[in-house]
């Protein structure tokens, strides 16, 4: 589990979390990029601007991987955040 900001930092785009969101949104259908593993800094699935969005799908994919959600819809990032190996 990573945050948009975390991915932006890793891509040398500090403070550009929205750009990560735009890039993930633009992925073609069937992409192998694990877009569903990226959430906002609060550990929530970010709402989409498009009606009929992929929020239920993202949550279902994460739950299928064993990621639990709190009653308020948050993921505990202290336990589930990705910590990449330093380069």
pLDDT at 45: 94
Helix (H) or strand (E) holding 2: strand 2-3
CA–CA dist 49, 67 (Å, integer): 24
CATH class of 2-80: mainly alpha
Alpha helix stretches (DSSP H) within the chain: 4-10, 17-25, 55-64, 77-80
Instruction: Break the chain into its structural domains and give their ranges.
Output: 2-80
pLDDT at 84: 87
Q: Answer for the pair 2, 81: CB distance below 8 angstroms, yes or no.
A: yes
> What separation in angstroms does the CA of 77 have from each of 36, 49, 63?
15, 24, 14
pLDDT at 35: 95
Is residue 55 predicted with pLDDT exceeding 90? no
Across all residues in the chain, what is the average pLDDT?
92
pLDDT at 85: 85
% of the chain at pLDDT higher than 70: 93
Query: Which tens digit of pLDDT belongs to each residue from 20-54?
Result: 999 998 999 899 999 999 999 999 998 876 666 67
């Amino acid at each position: 589990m990573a945050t948009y900001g975390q991915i932006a930092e890793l891509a040398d785009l500090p403070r550009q979390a929205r750009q990560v969101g735009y890039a993930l949104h633009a992925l073609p259908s069937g992409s192998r990029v694990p877009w569903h593993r990226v959430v906002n800094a609060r550990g929530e699935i970010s709402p989409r601007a498009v009606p009929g969005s992929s929020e239920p799908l993202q949550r279902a994919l994460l739950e299928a991987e064993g990621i639990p959600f709190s009653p308020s819809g948050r993921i505990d990032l202290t336990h589930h955040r990705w910590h990449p190996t330093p380069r």
